Amino acid sequence: MSEIRISRIGTTRDQLGESPVWDEARMRLYWIDALAGLIHSLDPATGDVTQFSAPAPIGSMVLRQDGGAVLALRHGFAQYDFGMRVLTEGPSIGLDDPKVRLNDGKADRHGRFVAGTMHADRAPDKAPYGGLYRLDAAGALELLETDLAVSNGPCFSPDGRTFYLADSARRIIWAYDYGSDGPLANKRVFVNTEAQQSGCDGATVDSEGFLWSVLVRIGKIARFAPNGTIARTIDMPVRHPTSVTFGGPDLDVLYVTSISRSHALVDDHPDAGGLFAVEGLGVRGLPAHRFRSD
């Protein structure tokens, strides 16, 4: 196993860094500060960082096929044009509860945005509102799943036929059969992380079909084999890493976002909230799917 190298990239300090995505066409990394309403765009070759503003909180973002991005905002989706710095509101999920908002999301191989909700400060005896939504190019929304307390880490197997979704509050990653249309099927427990004393946060899948997930409360990243066993763990230099994606020219750099101060977690480490690059892993990721444009 190769020796890994972990380095902080730049000087950004996010309250709640999330949703990193690599743009292989422009060789740039995008990620968000969910609570500050910021989108960062990094050129790793030069260190240049460009920032864009959007209404906070931003749950997640995916890149569009024809440029720009689609954002999951508090209760709905929006298109963002980076060149014009213009936000165009899209469909709403139809909720107005201030404690429920859209959270993590990814594009599927068919060009649709799949994003779930989180229900903050929920009483133990109260069922969570919201669920998992799928947005297509025509603006149509489907509700795919309910009863999600804190949805995180949605991602897909290399063939796109298995969908993974964590409920961080319950410390479970679910696996589902995923088709081009229709509902999710064959829901099963992929992994229970209660023994790790942490729920899982953001996640990605590498080219070998292993799932990389952040153990947000214990400062680690875990690589899970397709059968759900832990193949490897990485200790991060900060207490609360949040999400991961593979990037770089060879898709062999694991970029990691982190927290300095979210609603529930605080880290006073000087590098908390920073962006990190993990190199020397000996594995590669997969190109990010993009949202299909009309």
- Token pair, residue 74, equals 């508090």
216 strand-pairing partners: none
Residue that has been written with the tokens 């297509």 in this structure: 136
**How many C-beta atoms lie closer than 10 Å to residue 188's C-beta?**
9
267 is catalytic: no
**How many C-beta atoms lie closer than 10 Å to residue 213's C-beta?**
30
Residue that has been written with the tokens 């689609």 in this structure: 70
Omega of the bond leading into 57 within 30 degrees of 0 (cis)? yes
- Token pair, residue 294, equals 């009309």
Specify the length of the chain in residues: 294
Q: H or E segment at 17?
A: strand 17-23
In contact, 144 and 135? CB cutoff 8 Å: no
Q: What is the DSSP letter of 229?
A: -
Catalytic-labelled residue, pool 14, 33, 167, 201 = 201
CA angle 200, 252, 208 (to 5 degrees): 65
SS3 195: helix
- Token pair, residue 99, equals 């404690």
In contact, 3 and 19? CB cutoff 8 Å: no
276 strand-pairing partners: 8, 256
| Catalytic residue set | 201
